């Protein structure tokens, strides 16, 4: 699928067509910033086809280290759980995508109750398959800017590689919502990639990437 998709991807990049999205999708359901091909991937996040290609594409892009980078959030989760003795701790992953991060967390901490939230119903279809062996995981199709949960109902909130794709106002709302649903003294973890404007010393490498 990925090889067959290369001509379309190159055409999108060449023509700067970042809004080549499936015609059958009701785009009015999604915020304006979401109606685009993130990183030129075909269909953006709005098709099953895109979801099925996503993980392999990202692994190829990062030379097989994508899962390794996701695992960076596990050590602080482990330390937190070792210090905080809760009988049934609960974690929310905002922007869970195809569920790869949740699978790693569930494998490392099988006693955690997990919830994954994502705006793409197509990616959550794949996530359900990725997480089929983990009955303690629930998945919700919603926007991270407006979390459908009560105040303080999670012990841990995570977000992996979401924030670089959000405009500033949306980032603020997602963070505010994360703090709202996090219990006092809970753990908020955000993992993301460095951006061109973050470091003058590293900007040349980011531009090449």
What are 156's strand-pairing partners? 91, 187
Instruction: Judge whether residue 92 has pLDDT over 80.
Output: yes
48-61 helix and 2-15 helix, angle to the nearest 10 degrees: 90
pLDDT digits (tens, 9 = 90+) for 102-115: 999 999 999 999 99
* pLDDT score, position 29: 94
Q: Which of 39-43, 115-119, 196-200 has the lowest mean pLDDT?
A: 196-200
Give residue-wise pLDDT tens across range 75-86. 999 999 999 777
Distance of CA 30 to the CA centre of its chain: 16
Predicted pLDDT at 201? 83
The mean pLDDT value for 42-60 works out to 86
Q: Cα 132 to chain center, whole Å? A: 18
φ/ψ region of 120 (left if φ > 0, alpha if ψ in -120 to 50, else beta) reads beta
CA distances to 75, 89, 156, 185, 187 from 84, in Å: 14, 9, 11, 10, 10
The average pLDDT across 97-103 equals 96
Pairing relationship of beta strands 154-160 and 182-191 according to DSSP bridges? parallel
Q: Are 203 and 196 in contact (CB under 8 A)?
A: yes
Give the model's confidence band at 67: pLDDT under 50 very low, under 70 low, under 90 confident, else very high. Answer: confident
CA distance 107 to 93: 15
Q: Would you place residue 180 in the very low, low, confident or very high pLDDT band (cuts 50, 70, 90)?
A: very high
Task: Tell me the sheet residues that pair with 190.
Answer: 159
Q: Which of 115, 107, 99 is nearest to 155 (CA)?
A: 115
Place 4 in a pLDDT band, splitting at 50, 70 and 90: confident
> What pLDDT shows up at residue 209?
62
Q: Provide the whole-model pTM.
A: 0.88
């Amino acid at each position: 699928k990925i090889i067959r998709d290369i001509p379309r991807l190159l055409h999108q990049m060449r023509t700067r067509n970042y809004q080549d999205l499936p015609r059958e999708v009701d785009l009015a359901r999604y915020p304006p910033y979401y109606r685009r091909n993130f990183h030129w991937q075909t269909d953006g996040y709005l098709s099953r086809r895109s979801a099925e290609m996503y993980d392999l594409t990202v692994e190829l892009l990062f030379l097989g280290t994508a899962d390794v980078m996701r695992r960076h959030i596990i050590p602080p989760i482990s330390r937190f759980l070792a210090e905080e003795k809760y009988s049934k701790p609960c974690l929310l992953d905002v922007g869970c995508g195809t569920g790869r991060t949740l699978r790693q967390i569930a494998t490392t901490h099988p006693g955690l109750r997990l919830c994954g939230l994502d705006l793409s119903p197509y990616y959550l279809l794949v996530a359900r398959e990725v997480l089929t062996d983990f009955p303690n995981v629930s998945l919700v199709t919603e926007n991270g800017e407006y979390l459908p949960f009560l105040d303080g109902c999670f012990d841990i909130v995570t977000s992996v590689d979401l924030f670089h794709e959000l405009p500033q106002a949306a980032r603020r709302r997602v963070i505010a919502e994360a703090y709202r649903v996090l219990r006092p003294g809970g753990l908020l973890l955000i993992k993301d990639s460095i951006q061109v404007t973050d470091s003058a010393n590293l900007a040349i490498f980011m531009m090449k990437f």
